[in-house]
Amino acid sequence: SIPWLPLMVGSFVWGSNLYECGKPWLYTTAAYLSGAPWAEAAAAAGGCAGLGAAAFGLCMLKARAPRFDRQAGHTVLPSRLAILWALWVIASLIMSTPAVVYVLSTSLPPDNTLNIGSGVLAVFEHNGALLLFTMSSLIIPSIARSLVNKVTGADEPNLTSELVVFARMVTMLLIPF
């Protein structure tokens, strides 16, 4: 990502025409990017190229990573995998509840139409980060490990990792936004 930093910051500064005044450090971000089609195109191209390079780098790391072999003679039936993923999608949606409540607590006014009290909003706003950290680092991996062991009958670290990554993406990125 370092090679793309000058391209991105340069295109942001070049195209920062949204305000004549403002915070100078925001000129180096996409916040003030407006009215300069070439700068916007350069920022979009730089973003795509940076993400492509990051994906390529991850593929290269994956190719060099040590492989966890399945237990000798153990195969997971496709029907069990389907059941596992169906259960995991439901569990991921349920585990997204704290993230949704945290987002609501930071954006809802105290006198909201959902009848969520200001005390509840304040508790989630101030403690939401700790709850989300606990969910992501402790609860999701342990539930994934347990579910994989129960459904497949064996310890499958690769499958467990896939479930954890999926749940973290759902709970931290997709559902809250």
Cα–Cα distance for residue pair 124/104, rounded to 1 Å: 9
Check whether 1 has a pLDDT greater than 70. Answer: no
* pLDDT tens, residue by residue, 98-108: 888 787 777 77
DSSP-assigned letters across all residues of the chain: -GGGHHHHHHHHHHTB-S-SSS-GGGGGSGGGB-S-HHHHHHHHHHHHHHHHHHHHHHHHHHHHSPP-PPPTT----HHHHHHHHHHHHHHHHHHTHHHHHHHHHHHS-SS-TT---HHHHHHHHHHHHHHHHHIIIIIHHHHHHHHHHHHHSS--HHHHHHHHHHHHHIIIIITT-
Mean predicted confidence (pLDDT) in 28-49: 80
Mean pLDDT of 36-42: 81
Instruction: Indicate whether 29 pLDDT > 70.
Output: yes
- In the numeric block, which tokens belong to residue 117? 């009290």
Q: What angle do CA 72, 73, 78 make, to 5 degrees?
A: 120
Q: How confident is the model at residue 141 (pLDDT cuts 50, 70, 90)?
A: very high
Q: Is 148 exposed, middle or buried (0-12, 13-18, 19+ CB in 10 A)?
A: buried
- How confident is the model over 112-140, as pLDDT tens digits? 787 878 888 888 888 878 888 888 889 99
Look at 22 and 123; give whichever has higher pLDDT: 123
The burial of 170, by beta-carbon neighbours within 10 Å (0-12 exposed, 13-18 middle, 19 or more buried), is given as: buried
